[in-house]
Structure 1
Amino acid sequence: MPASRLSFVPPLVVCIAAVASSPVGAQGPAGEIRLDEIEVSAPPPASSGPAASAGYVGGVTGIGGALATVDAASAGIISGAQLNSRPVTRPGEVLESVPGLIVTQHSGEGKANQFFLRGFNLDHGTDIALHVDGMPVNMRTHAHGQGYADLNFLIPELVGAVEFHKGPYFVRDGDFASAGSVRIDYLDKLDRNVALTTLGSFGYKRGLSAASVPLGAGNLLVAGEAQTYDGPWVVPDALRKLNGVARYSQGTATDGFSVTGMAYWAKWNATNQIPERAVAEGIIGRYGTLDPTDGGETGRFSLSGRWSQSDAGGITRASAYVIRYQMNLWNNFTYFLNDPVNGDQFRQRDARVLGGGEISRVFQGDLLGLPMENEIGLQTRTDDIRVGLFNTTARQYRSTVLDDRVLEASAAFYYENRVRWTDWLRTSVGFRADGYSADVRSDTPANSGRARDGIVTPKLGAVLGPWLDTEIYVNYGGGFHSNDVRGVTATVDPASPLFNISRSPFLVPSTGYEVGIRNRSIAGLETSLALFRLDFASENLFQGDTGTTEPSRPTRRFGIEWSNHYAVTPWLRLEGDLTITNARFSDRDPVGQRVPEAPTTIASAGVTFGEGRGWFGSLRFRYFGSRPLIEDNSVRSKPTALLNGRLGYAFDNGVSLALDVLNLTNAKADQITYFYESRLPGEAAAVADRHFHPVEPTALRLTLAGRF
């Protein structure tokens, strides 16, 4: 039964099984995870470890006491040490520590990543909700794509913990969270200050300094990062990036506060996906481009704060943020399809100020003598947006397609009840109610208007066990994603005002089901298995001619996830994950039933070694299976298999040296592949073709770090 607007539908939320002790657990609060162990310690199981003291990570699981933390088999907490043990090409790839999540790129390095999870091509974030330090990363009614989530401002070395949930079962998650959510918290303080320099292939240079000092009754943390990168492209990316964080904090995660400022700026050139025929015919090489003027620039500045206080009856938490964001993208995906003379390049502009916050209260109590918790919360967000689309040639303005002002606001109330009925049965019952309103002022008057919508998505769940160190989970929950509100109010095509268009729904419901099991009967080994299904009333799909996502047909996905984490010794850890998904449109259409870009198989494996001083390293394998590119499955992408490695040595004086080898086997694989029509110079008509973005060849990166 799908979640419905303003009506009660029984879905489910289950929260995490009792968290096992781990090496990180022995360190105390994750806010005190030792930075000198980021590269060399054996990380904890993905579902283990404490939350970062920075704020809300782990907050939904209550405050301990009589109730063990509970959740789904597909949920967990990852320490910052585990996150940073992986060799990665770009910052967002650290999130591949979430089992089954693929993070890739189809453009220049300053653009938001492409995400794949549970049979979804999530584009730049349409159905995966990302938060950093309590702030949403996904941008609604965005110039390039709904839910656009740019994580390039992330500084991995500052991450204290990451909480992930897959499926719409978590009451704190609303918009964009149907496939899953990831909440990242930064550390409040560093045990040791750090300065590092990385030099690598293709012009890669990165410098980072981070320090924390006592100040008054609290701690001041300051970090700064600078990076440049050209890549292997014929037209260098010429990425230039500056990033900074300043945070003052007092107290702990349950009794304390913090105030954090962040600033990020980047500009770059972009080699977007290219047609296979252009390479086959020798027009360009594998790392070439058909429009050397594509690229972008972006900036993000934020101020946020969080506060928490506990008492005999429970804990109260509050957070607030304000973000100023801007972006300009120049893209040409179809070359000369629409304009054979000037070309098809367009500029997408997004400038906004958004603000919001959250307040929640966890009440401890009992139900007929049984341990119980109740949690209530309120979330708000308002975006003041200017968003535009312009035809350009070599980044020079030619004409305006649209130039709109949008004010979009939302509020949500959530409630959850958690009860331990017996030693082997825990339940959670909850719901959230979301309301949205928007005012669109378009330069095409027929597309102006106001829109309102609401949705109620209840959540239910149960955890049975443990029996023989085994727990069983059942989940059923409702979720949703919002659509670009311009499509909700529009009545005519802005490029051709004489043509009417169909309006999109504002909020699109989803319904998820899951049964899972987690076992810890072998010392050091945690294995989990989950069977899941997710139904969506409307799919968001990438459109090559506009570079955006647009609503499509209803879909159904079902699949299986198997995750394994084995701490063989305190210094040796093994991991292996496998996800197999079946994704289909749930209505009938002669064009076919396959969901374009939906991955069937995702797999990863790795080994991490090292403890304290001496040698440390990691070897990571990632497999991204073949995918249908059109509905009838007649055109498919090639699979991608990548191997990355790291080897380093940590000296007694706090200095460490590490060598990362990316794409160790020099695989000639693709980051991503699309199938759509384009037109090359000299072609008489449009040609439907695969368009791919290649994986970078083997690259070396050497990092010298000092901790003091």
Structure 2
Amino acid sequence: MKIHPLHTRLLPAALAVMSFAAHADDPPFQRVLVEGSRISQLGEADSAAAGTVTQSQLQARTTYRPGELLEATPGLVVSQHSGEGKANQFYLRGFNLDHGTDLRTAVDGMPVNQRSHAHGQGWTDLNFVIPELAGRLDYRKGPYSATAGDFASAGATELTYVNRLTSGIANITAGQNGYGRALIAASPELGNGTVLVGLEAMHNDGPFTRGDNYRKVNGVLRYSEGFENNGYSITAMAYRAKWHATDQIPQRAVDAGTLGRFDAIDPTDGGSAHRYSLSGKWQRSDDDNSARVSAYVIANRLALFSNFTYFLDDPVNGDQFAQPDRRVTSGFDASYSWHHHRADVASTTTVGITAQNDNIHNGLYRTRARQVTGTTREDHIVETSGALFVENQTRWNATFRTVAGLRADRYRFDVHGDNAANAGTASDGILSPSVSLVFGPWARTEFYVNAGTGFHSNDARGTVIAVDPKTGEPADRVTPLARTRGLDLGVRSEWVPGLQSSLSLYRLDMDSELLFVGDAGTTEAGRPSRRHGIEFSNYYKPVKWLSLDADLAYARARFRNADPAGDRIPGAVEGVAQFAATVTPTGPWSGALRLRWFGPRPLVEDNSVRSKATTTLNGRIGYRIGKATHVELEAFNLANRRASAIDYFYESRLAGEAEAVEDVHFHPVESRSFRVSLTHRF
């Protein structure tokens, strides 16, 4: 059967890890896969900054937490600045993305970013992900696809769960710092389909003086029939967790010896969360048409207690605050594609519609030891959005193809709460065109030109605000939808046997930067910004049993308007590098090492205060016992570096200090630790 390259996205997931033999009349950029290597993106990707990571590659990664699976995206760093149950910290393309601003993340077609969240716009909590069930990771960077909307300006990632496991999995893991995890998963056949079931329980204290006592229970139940291009699935997920938190601490106290690196100032910080979801996907395709429909309902709840300034505002009770958030998110996505063939020209036109509604109750309260002492604000928000898009992919001849798209989004914000001055409705719409030109391949090398616009939404409360709920002073409203404009120039090559390389040069302009405010514990809209950058990604497989990765990225981020404070963007990452070696010989042994570095960052606008670079080295070694049992030793921060996972600069006051002090506040990278796991397949 001849497989057209524009149809490869519709192939079953099982085919994504096979090697396709090209027919004599197939185009020269037929998608191929060398055994054990990455899937070739020649003829598939629309830019040098897009790709797919296979299940075997994801399984080979050494991850301290589930969110680190996204680090398979070249140039992306996933970190943490609080207890394990909190959403991760993300860095990409010159951004400190806080908990997910401008990085759109989805799992099985469901959005993970939470709009108008109590703690920060775009809150992205991936703790419900079970890594063993992840079938692939698709990523793209830049606003160059009509299928991606809100939060996708820096990048977009999607994890897709498998429908079937090749065998059942039973795993038990134990490690230092109170780490324990148990997992069982299987996919028995039922009727005409398959049931996927997975159940996970985990505990982790971390190296902190007051352990995180992170406890989670996580489950997945799915029924599916057919394949990715012709079939359907219905999935239920459930996740619950509780934790203590050691938030960022001031450098001055550590330097004075009054506070250890893993000590906490407020021992009652922490939180709890749950996430329940029900989703369904349906798809049909043939040689001429394809259709996809997905829908979801997600119930999220978070109770979060933080204290970043200690005794700055309230020298008696302290500055702890609560940011509860509960919501029901519902939505659907539908698309229909027509495939056209005429002589040497092949074209696919896709039209789609998407809608999302968030019914949100959240607030901001003053607390002491998790007991409410006062209310700053409490709100009921209904945020509704819808979008229409059209995208055309055309291969004009053997060495030139184009992708052109247009997306139209419309948003409505409805805010009601305890202060009538900060209530009301707002609405906004935006058009986002994009175009990609792909030249080649010549000598298994392609060249890309990408241009497009995107956007991020701002917090609904900021679109109707009139007075600051904390001070009572007048407050300015923010633009509901902030536009971004991007340009990428790239090249991808597989000319050297076994080596896959991609190079991207990019520029991204943003009308309003979303910044995390350390002493307020939330994000706010900031000044317009511009980023230039370069990314260089390499994957080399010199022999069947060895693969090498090298990903390098550099970015220059600046505010675009003049301000006496300066033009640097606080927290903007400038350099990122990852190097890895994975060894998979034919014998029972296997292993891997991964070095991750992300460089110093400006912490204030005039660049007078900067963070230090952070370097970690993780590794694993495994031994196969027979055909079904595997034991593995994982090591984290092997060099035991005393580095920071995050740094901020702001005012705080410790008990006994007469006045506020401006200082660097940091959360440490976890000290060296080991985990041993036993996995049996049945």
Q: Same fold (TM over 0.5)?
A: yes
Q: Does the CA contact (< 8 Å) of 2:46 and 2:403 recur in 1?
A: no
2:467 matched to which residue of 1?
A: 492
2:658 matched to which residue of 1?
A: 684
- CA distance, structure 1, for counterparts of residue 576 and residue 582 of structure 2: 20
- CA distance, structure 2, for counterparts of residue 661 and residue 145 of structure 1: 32
Shift of 1:69: 2.6
Q: Does the CA contact (< 8 Å) of 1:70 and 1:463 recur in 2?
A: no
- CA distance, structure 2, for counterparts of residue 687 and residue 135 of structure 1: 43
Shift of 1:42: 7.7
Deviations 1:460-514 (A, max 9, x none): 01100011111000000111000001011010111233x1100011000000000
1:59 matched to which residue of 2?
A: none
SS of 1:83's equivalent in the other structure is helix
Deviations 1:215-272 (A, max 9, x none): 0000001000000001111111000000000000000111100000000000000000
- CA distance, structure 2, for counterparts of residue 616 and residue 477 of structure 1: 43
Note the 1:83-162 alignment, pairs <5 A. 83-162=58-137
Q: Does the CA contact (< 8 Å) of 1:253 and 1:308 recur in 2?
A: yes
Shift of 1:45: 2.1
Shift of 1:365: 1.2
What letter corresponds to residue 396 of structure 1 in structure 2? Q
Note the 1:615-654 alignment, pairs <5 A. 615-654=589-628
Deviations 1:543-571 (A, max 9, x none): 11211010111000001000000112222
- CA distance, structure 1, for counterparts of residue 213 and residue 230 of structure 2: 45
- CA distance, structure 1, for counterparts of residue 262 and residue 311 of structure 2: 20
**Do structure 1's residue 508 and structure 2's residue 482 form an aligned pair?**
yes
**Do structure 1's residue 221 and structure 2's residue 196 form an aligned pair?**
yes
What letter corresponds to residue 275 of structure 2 in structure 1? R
- CA distance, structure 2, for counterparts of residue 595 and residue 16 of structure 1: 42
2:27 matched to which residue of 1?
A: none
1:5 matched to which residue of 2?
A: none
Deviations 1:556-593 (A, max 9, x none): 00010000001122221000010010000011111111
SS of 1:148's equivalent in the other structure is coil
Shift of 1:392: 0.1
Deviations 1:358-382 (A, max 9, x none): 0001101146862111011101000
1:412 matched to which residue of 2?
A: 387
Q: Does the CA contact (< 8 Å) of 1:202 and 1:230 recur in 2?
A: yes
Deviations 1:441-472 (A, max 9, x none): 12100000001000000010110001111100
* Counterpart selection for 1:550 from 511, 516, 524: 524
Q: Which runs of 5+ in 2 are unaligned?
A: 1-5, 21-33
- CA distance, structure 2, for counterparts of residue 451 and residue 665 of structure 1: 52
- CA distance, structure 1, for counterparts of residue 7 and residue 259 of structure 2: 51
Note the 1:415-494 alignment, pairs <5 A. 415-494=390-469
Shift of 1:119: 0.2
1:361 matched to which residue of 2?
A: 336
- Do the aligned partners of residues 23 and 325 (structure 1) sit closer, same or farther apart at CA in structure 2, a change above 3 Å counting? closer
Deviations 1:612-663 (A, max 9, x none): 6511111000001000000100000010111001001112231000000100
Q: Does the CA contact (< 8 Å) of 2:246 and 2:263 recur in 1?
A: yes
**Do structure 1's residue 587 and structure 2's residue 574 form an aligned pair?**
no
Note the 1:519-534 alignment, pairs <5 A. 519-534=493-508
Q: Which runs of 5+ in 1 are unaligned?
A: 1-14, 30-40, 50-67
SS of 1:146's equivalent in the other structure is coil
Q: Does the CA contact (< 8 Å) of 1:47 and 1:78 recur in 2?
A: no
Deviations 1:293-314 (A, max 9, x none): 0001000000000001113421
Q: Does the CA contact (< 8 Å) of 2:274 and 2:302 recur in 1?
A: yes
Q: Does the CA contact (< 8 Å) of 1:42 and 1:572 recur in 2?
A: no
* Counterpart selection for 1:44 from 34, 37, 45: 37
- Do the aligned partners of residues 102 and 591 (structure 1) sit closer, same or farther apart at CA in structure 2, a change above 3 Å counting? same
- Do the aligned partners of residues 151 and 574 (structure 1) sit closer, same or farther apart at CA in structure 2, a change above 3 Å counting? same
- Do the aligned partners of residues 90 and 473 (structure 1) sit closer, same or farther apart at CA in structure 2, a change above 3 Å counting? same
RMSD over equivalenced CA pairs, Å: 1.9
Shift of 1:194: 0.5
- Do the aligned partners of residues 25 and 444 (structure 1) sit closer, same or farther apart at CA in structure 2, a change above 3 Å counting? closer
What letter corresponds to residue 638 of structure 1 in structure 2? K
SS of 2:527's equivalent in the other structure is coil
SS of 1:617's equivalent in the other structure is strand
Shift of 1:27: 4.0
- CA distance, structure 2, for counterparts of residue 582 and residue 369 of structure 1: 42
Shift of 1:403: 0.9
- Do the aligned partners of residues 369 and 45 (structure 1) sit closer, same or farther apart at CA in structure 2, a change above 3 Å counting? closer
- Do the aligned partners of residues 613 and 136 (structure 1) sit closer, same or farther apart at CA in structure 2, a change above 3 Å counting? farther
- CA distance, structure 2, for counterparts of residue 334 and residue 423 of structure 1: 61
Q: Does the CA contact (< 8 Å) of 1:167 and 1:180 recur in 2?
A: yes
What letter corresponds to residue 650 of structure 1 in structure 2? R
**Do structure 1's residue 276 and structure 2's residue 269 form an aligned pair?**
no
Q: Does the CA contact (< 8 Å) of 1:42 and 1:608 recur in 2?
A: no
What letter corresponds to residue 687 of structure 1 in structure 2? V
Q: Does the CA contact (< 8 Å) of 1:45 and 1:566 recur in 2?
A: no
- CA distance, structure 1, for counterparts of residue 377 and residue 39 of structure 2: 45
Note the 1:54-93 alignment, pairs <5 A. 68-93=43-68
Q: Does the CA contact (< 8 Å) of 2:105 and 2:156 recur in 1?
A: yes
1:562 matched to which residue of 2?
A: 536
2:326 matched to which residue of 1?
A: 351
2:551 matched to which residue of 1?
A: 577
Note the 1:231-242 alignment, pairs <5 A. 231-242=206-217
- CA distance, structure 2, for counterparts of residue 613 and residue 705 of structure 1: 17
Q: Does the CA contact (< 8 Å) of 1:16 and 1:75 recur in 2?
A: no
Deviations 1:22-61 (A, max 9, x none): 99855489xxxxxxxxxxx985326559xxxxxxxxxxxx
2:354 matched to which residue of 1?
A: 379
- CA distance, structure 1, for counterparts of residue 44 and residue 518 of structure 2: 44
**Do structure 1's residue 314 and structure 2's residue 307 form an aligned pair?**
no
- CA distance, structure 1, for counterparts of residue 79 and residue 293 of structure 2: 34
What letter corresponds to residue 565 of structure 1 in structure 2? Y
* Counterpart selection for 1:662 from 628, 633, 636: 636
Shift of 1:205: 0.2
Q: Does the CA contact (< 8 Å) of 2:240 and 2:275 recur in 1?
A: yes
Q: Does the CA contact (< 8 Å) of 2:344 and 2:396 recur in 1?
A: no
Note the 1:253-268 alignment, pairs <5 A. 253-268=228-243
Q: Does the CA contact (< 8 Å) of 1:23 and 1:44 recur in 2?
A: no
- Do the aligned partners of residues 24 and 627 (structure 1) sit closer, same or farther apart at CA in structure 2, a change above 3 Å counting? farther
1:702 matched to which residue of 2?
A: 676
2:23 matched to which residue of 1?
A: none
1:33 matched to which residue of 2?
A: none
- CA distance, structure 2, for counterparts of residue 378 and residue 25 of structure 1: 27
Of stretches 223-232 and 276-285 in structure 1, the one that deviates more from structure 2 is: 276-285
Q: Does the CA contact (< 8 Å) of 1:477 and 1:513 recur in 2?
A: yes
Count residues with an aligned counterpart. 662
Q: Does the CA contact (< 8 Å) of 2:17 and 2:39 recur in 1?
A: no
Shift of 1:431: 0.8
Shift of 1:18: 11
What letter corresponds to residue 512 of structure 1 in structure 2? G
1:57 matched to which residue of 2?
A: none
Deviations 1:579-611 (A, max 9, x none): 010000011111111111011110000001115
1:539 matched to which residue of 2?
A: 513
Shift of 1:72: 0.6
Deviations 1:163-219 (A, max 9, x none): 000011111110000000001100001110000001001000000000010100000
- CA distance, structure 1, for counterparts of residue 168 and residue 531 of structure 2: 46
Q: Does the CA contact (< 8 Å) of 2:45 and 2:51 recur in 1?
A: no
Q: Does the CA contact (< 8 Å) of 2:103 and 2:153 recur in 1?
A: yes
Q: Does the CA contact (< 8 Å) of 2:212 and 2:245 recur in 1?
A: yes
- CA distance, structure 1, for counterparts of residue 647 and residue 344 of structure 2: 57
1:55 matched to which residue of 2?
A: none
